[in-house]
Amino acid sequence: MERRSTDPRPDDADTVEGVGELATLARILPRLPRGDDTVLGPGDDAAVVAAPDGRFVVTTDLMVHGPDFRRAWSTSYDLGWKAAASNLSDVAAMGARPTALVVALAVPGDTPVADLEVFADGLRDGCAAMAPGTGVVGGDLSVSPTFTVAVTAFGDLEGRAPVRRDGARPGDVVAVSGALGRSARGLDLLFRLGVDHEGVPDVSAAGALRERDPDVGWHLAPTPPVADGRSAALAGATAMLDLSDGLALDAGRVARASGVVVDLSGAALGDDPRLALSGGEDHSLFATFPPGVTVPAGFRLVGTVRDPAGGAPRVTVDGSDLGEAGGWDPYRLWSGAQG
Amino acid sequence: MERRSTDPRPDDADTVEGVGELATLARILPRLPRGDDTVLGPGDDAAVVAAPDGRFVVTTDLMVHGPDFRRAWSTSYDLGWKAAASNLSDVAAMGARPTALVVALAVPGDTPVADLEVFADGLRDGCAAMAPGTGVVGGDLSVSPTFTVAVTAFGDLEGRAPVRRDGARPGDVVAVSGALGRSARGLDLLFRLGVDHEGVPDVSAAGALRERDPDVGWHLAPTPPVADGRSAALAGATAMLDLSDGLALDAGRVARASGVVVDLSGAALGDDPRLALSGGEDHSLFATFPPGVTVPAGFRLVGTVRDPAGGAPRVTVDGSDLGEAGGWDPYRLWSGAQG
């Protein structure tokens, strides 16, 4: 497996089952960030995290080998980084400032401990890049035939109301911060070209592809605009969510929750509107703002909110209804191919 | 799979991959408790939970099919109940009042949705029995060849300092609330008798065994004394932890963290001291209290804390050193047998 971090023991033959849970944790924990809001870090039955305004935001997310990633494509560093990204963006989408994470790993017993050290490095660097000051305050480690990452992330609303999905109002402007369709384009490249001659995910094919096209690395370890969630809340965002399943599907969630039509501008969807509408996993932020508000730095206008005028809440593009829009549902779309 | 809950659709043939993630969640979520501390429940990018004293306690735990449970032995209801028990007890061991859980499930695509409904019922009933008012505020659902449950639990310290492992002082009394070795006895029975003639975990053998011996059901769905954690903190406990890996190993953690000798009374260890010392997964509470304190209801005295007098921090029984004490390390002890 490719390593993009400084691994101090590249020839280290220790495996998780060889050294046991406690010795593995003893090598991982020192690599993790303590965090500015950590009252009590790892090592006891539970950790304690500050919640300055008397509430905390919480989100949890699983990444499972197969449906969510392939070890042949993702480095351990990528997995740590992406685990941070996908959870921090959910905290951001509530308008909160991320404060802490806990991370539970279930891995095959023959997993090198060094791989988990590199995972921890990716997690640490992802937190530092996207939400500096966020700590990893606890975790769990178990054995499983299926490499599984479970992250729970926390945030502080700083006294504000959470920005929900149901607050968009007719007349609001619609804005996005971050990429649209870039992760999906990278994944499509991996499916087509990051495989061997039998179509099985392949380490060296993926590595070469990644060198050629930055969207591949973006898919494997994206950097969503986490800080822009807080900015949007401060600017008065009326609704917000994290674009994890694609713009069409996620904008539809805001439309239904708010009872409105989200009308997107075709011109704002770039060269490949289909990809921008259907591509998931960019973890960009979708937000609505009252008319007249200057949208914060990072956001660009992509549409307006309209009254459904007796029709169904829905997403339109330049006033026209979308057809059946695809979204990422792992139970329906996962082919079962490993790698 | 045996069902112990009222399943409204026993002939329901829906599977998770058949109906998809969203439809599955729509059937699970209404069964989960909202909770007294829930500010914003499931349905948005993240939930919001109250943290009345400006901090929150957090613990996370994985349960993986194989090392942590066998579907042939545990009903879906058991799994939900045990997921609540093992996490609530970690919150209790800090002296906190549990407030909320988030639950992430990764399950094979052919898992009946009805099984997950029953899992939710076990989770709900476990919360109601052990920590009434605790809400399930969020979750995630993914597909995996390996049935995996990831729970993160939260608690409120009500203005108190967390009760850590490092506060035991010479002269303190040592007390336990809850069973010692009962879960391990139940597991031992399952390994010996809950199997078919080839030694593979068997549904009907386990069911019959469970009818005969209540320790089997206790292992599969224990009821640790969660409320006693708060009582211990109010009574001035100097150290506390959840007995998940066995009394000898866990008391050793308090001894090392506190720099003391934990001297247990052989007479307090019951008929099978070996089992009481080594048996894990009871999730009972181990606590130390200052001399002269009346230990709270639920706790019984099992020893005293002594000065190591220049020796190593360690656990003794009636003043004699223990030999090498076994503990539960899934990477070392898991045989790999499925069921």
Is B290 domain-assigned?
yes
| Whether A295 and A306 share a structural domain | yes
Q: What is the pLDDT of residues B94-146, one digit of tens each?
A: 999 999 999 999 999 999 999 999 999 999 999 999 999 999 999 999 999 99
CB of B109 within 8 Å of any CB in chain A?
yes
Can you tell me the ipTM of this complex?
Answer: 0.91
| Whether B189 and B249 share a structural domain | no
pTM value? 0.91
Q: With bands split at pLDDT 50, 70 and 90, how would you rate the model's confidence at B336?
A: very low
**Number of residue pairs across A and B with CB atoms under 8 Å?**
244
| Whether A262 and A304 share a structural domain | yes
- Which residues of chain B are within 8 Å of residue A109 when distances are taken between CB atoms? 331, 334
H or E element at residue A208: helix A203-212
Q: With bands split at pLDDT 50, 70 and 90, how would you rate the model's confidence at A322?
A: confident
| Whether B133 and B41 share a structural domain | yes
Tell me which residue has tokens 């919001």: B48
For A181, A182, A279, the CA distances from A188, given in Å and listed in that order, are 10, 10, 10
pLDDT score, position B337: 43
Is A197 domain-assigned?
yes
| Whether A206 and A259 share a structural domain | no
Half-sphere exposure of B151 (CA within 13 A, CB side): 27
Chain B closest-CA separation from residue A141 CA (Å): 7
pLDDT score, position B322: 81
Residue B41 has pLDDT above 70, yes or no: yes
Strands B148-156 and A47-50: unpaired
Q: Please count the residues of chain B.
A: 339
Chain centroid offset of residue A39 CA: 26
> Over chain A, what is the mean pLDDT?
92
Residues A179-192, mean pLDDT to the nearest whole number: 96
pLDDT score, position A11: 54
**Could you list the residue range(s) of the whole structural domain that residue A82 is in?**
16-156
Three-state secondary structure call for residue B306: strand
| Whether B190 and B314 share a structural domain | no
Lowest mean pLDDT among A315-329, B12-26, B50-64, B71-85: A315-329
| Whether A33 and A51 share a structural domain | yes
- Which residues of chain B are within 8 Å of residue A46 when distances are taken between CB atoms? 57-59, 90-91, 93-94, 96, 153, 155, 162
Supply A216's token pair. 């591949």
DSSP A65: B
CA angle B127, B250, B71 (to 5 degrees): 50
Is A237 domain-assigned?
yes
pLDDT score, position B12: 75
Beta partners for residue B237, in sequence order: none
Residues B286-309, mean pLDDT to the nearest whole number: 97
| Whether A94 and A194 share a structural domain | no
DSSP B134: -
Question: Which among A63, A67, A76, A275 is positioned nearest to A188, based on CA atoms?
Answer: A275
The backbone torsions φ and ψ at residue A121, rounded to the nearest 5 degrees and listed phi first, read -65, -40
Q: What is the pLDDT of residues A214-262, one digit of tens each?
A: 999 999 999 999 999 999 999 999 999 999 999 999 999 999 999 999 9
Is A337 domain-assigned?
no
| Whether A209 and A227 share a structural domain | no
| Whether B217 and B236 share a structural domain | no
pLDDT score, position A12: 75
Q: What is the pLDDT of residues B114-127, one digit of tens each?
A: 999 999 999 999 99
Is A332 domain-assigned?
no
pLDDT score, position A336: 42
Residue A270 has pLDDT above 70, yes or no: yes
Q: What is the pLDDT of residues B158-170, one digit of tens each?
A: 999 999 999 999 9
Which A residues 205-244 touch B at CB under 8 Å?
240-242
Q: Are A80 and A7 in contact (CB under 8 A)?
A: no
Is B166 domain-assigned?
no
Chain B residue with the nearest C-alpha to that of A38: B55
Chain A closest-CA separation from residue B307 CA (Å): 22
| Whether B211 and B273 share a structural domain | no
Lowest mean pLDDT among A7-11, A97-101, A143-147, B322-326: A7-11
The backbone torsions φ and ψ at residue B326, rounded to the nearest 5 degrees and listed phi first, read -80, 150
Is B58 domain-assigned?
yes
CB contact under 8 A, B102 and A58: yes
pLDDT score, position B326: 44
Residues A304-309, mean pLDDT to the nearest whole number: 97
Contacts of B8 (CB under 8 A, 6+ apart): none
Q: What is the pLDDT of residues B176-209, one digit of tens each?
A: 999 999 999 999 999 999 999 999 999 999 999 9
